Amino acid sequence: MSQPLTMIRPDDWHLHLRDGPVLTTTVGHSAKQFARAIIMPNLKKPVTTTELAMAYRDRILAAIPDGLAFSPLMTLYLTDDTSIEEIKRAGNSKHIVALKLYPAGATTNSSSGVSDIECTYSILEEMIEFNMPLLIHGEVTDPSIDIFDREKIFIERHLEPLTRRYPELKIVLEHITTHDAVAYVEEGNSTLAATITPHHLLLNRNAMLVGGIHPHHYCLPVLKRERHRQALVKAATGGNPRFFLGTDSAPHEIASKESGCGCAGIYSAHAALELYTEIFEAAVASFHGADFYGLPRNKETISLVKRPWVSPESYQFGEEGTVRPFRAGEALDWTLYANLHRTIQ
């Protein structure tokens, strides 16, 4: 067995756990891998208030397997109707750490999202008072814009004016996919950061479209050209503290993915660190995310070993459903120590 790779246990700065019985699977997987995670609020009934977020947090805590420590960092879903009072409540709660901005209609469960960013200015000003970050799904919804260009155009049309107007607002551009986003964040000031997913580091759009349509590689923002993937790898491994890990693990019931109109989202929580380690081979963990959010750095360590295992074809997802994970039925090179029992010999 090769030398194990030991690192400080990382955090996932962008995660979809969903709700209800599926929490057993999703929380179980993430709690094994990560110390903390930023929990996305795009439930079917979006998490728009502190009260809803606290109730959701309780359901997540109840699903943490015995013996594992995992802290869900809650977010609120920004809508056209979010009030200043709600921001004050969230800002005063130690469990709500950020607000999420979905342009209305941009992705899964985003229909209650923001229709015009300019209408949220008073909310953003209140968030600055509490030093709460704004997490952005950075894609335009303009039907005339090609889906492969939606991130780049979002930066030009919306992010640039926003960062100019509010340089002190902490912004995380979520799950970036293009060299344009990498360049924009690199040139930005210390209040602008970005998360990068394992699938955008490992795959380009061929993985979705060559040899047939591969619905399990469909996510939003959609996979891009190889040169964009290479820019992401460079950013993720380059040491800039404003790029950090966010899986965007986003499970959907298998039938909703393998469909005439399949849902966007890739489930990677079962093997997130093993997948990132393929890219990094070292130094997956970093303190970049914790430092940006102003949270303490983790102290506990976690180890991986270079030993292959085959990812299951599916996991149980709720009482009757199944979810097909990233790399289903395929070998992964790295194994978490905690999962050594599943290694093929």
Residues with a known catalytic role: 248
Closer CB to Zn ion, 158 or 304, in the complex: 158
What is the length of the chain? 345
Read out DSSP for 111-142?
Answer: TTSBS-GGGGHHHHHHHHHTTPPEEE------
Residue (10 or 251) nearer to ligand NCD, CB = 251
Complex with Zn ion: residue 40 or 169, whichever CB lies closer: 40
CB of 300 to Zn ion, least distance (A): 26
Instruction: Please check whether residue 239 is in contact with residue 287, taking contact to mean a CB–CB distance below 8 angstroms.
Output: no
Site map 249..278 versus ligand NCD, x via CB under 6 A:
-x-------------xx-------------
Q: Which two tokens stand for residue 256?
A: 């909703």
Among residues 232, 133, 246, 95, the alpha carbon closest in space to that of 177 is found at 232
Residue 6 CA from chain centroid, whole number: 23
Could you tell which of Zn ion, ligand NCD, none binds residue 257, using a CB distance below 5 to 8 A set by kind? none
State the minimum distance, in angstroms, from the CB of residue 337 to ligand NCD: 29
Query: Are 216 and 266 spatial neighbours (Cβ–Cβ below 8 Å)?
Result: yes
224 binds, among Zn ion, ligand NCD, none (CB under 5 to 8 A by kind): none
Rg (CA), the chain: 19
Number of residues that bind ligand NCD (CB under 6 A): 11
**Which structure tokens are listed for 71?**
């802290």
DSSP calls for 294-329: T-PPP--EEEEEEEEEE--S-EEETTTEEEPPTTTT
Cα-flanking dihedrals φ and ψ of residue 205, to 5°?
-70, -15
CB under 5 to 8 A by kind: which of Zn ion, ligand NCD, none does 277 bind? none
- Which residue from 30, 42, 75, 268 is in contact with ligand NCD, where contact means CB under 6 A? 42
Task: Among 137, 199, 217, 270, indicate the residue that binds ligand NCD (CB under 6 A).
Answer: 137
Distance CA(293)–CA(289), nearest Å, equals 6
Q: Which is nearer to ligand NCD, 86 or 248 (CB)?
A: 248
C-alpha distances out from residue 95 to 52, 71, 75, 132, 258, Å: 12, 9, 9, 12, 36
What's the min distance (Å) between Cβ of 172 and ligand NCD? Answer: 12
Residue 248 binds to Zn ion (criterion: CB under 5 A): yes
Q: Is 248 in the site for ligand NCD (CB under 6 A)?
A: yes
Strand partners, 211: none
What's the closest the beta carbon of residue 57 comes to ligand NCD, in angstroms?
Answer: 18
User: 340, 305 in Cβ contact below 8 A?
Assistant: yes
- For ligand NCD, the closer of residues 149 and 291 by Cβ is 149
Minimum CB distance to Zn ion, residue 106 (Å): 10
- The minimum distance between CB 137 and ligand NCD, in angstroms, equals 5
The residue among 74 and 302 lying less far from ligand NCD, judged by its C-beta, is 74
215 contacts 223 by C-beta, under 8 angstroms = no
Write the interaction track for ligand NCD spanning residues 204-243; mark x where CB under 6 A is met and - where it is not: ---------------xx-----------------------
Q: Tokens at residue 240, please?
A: 């800039």
By the rule CB under 6 A, 29 interacts with ligand NCD? no
> Helices 23-33 and 272-280 meet at what angle, rounded to 10?
40
- In the complex, the residues that contact Zn ion under the rule CB under 5 A are 248
| Contact footprint for ligand NCD (CB under 6 A) | 16, 42, 107-108, 137, 219-220, 248, 250, 264-265
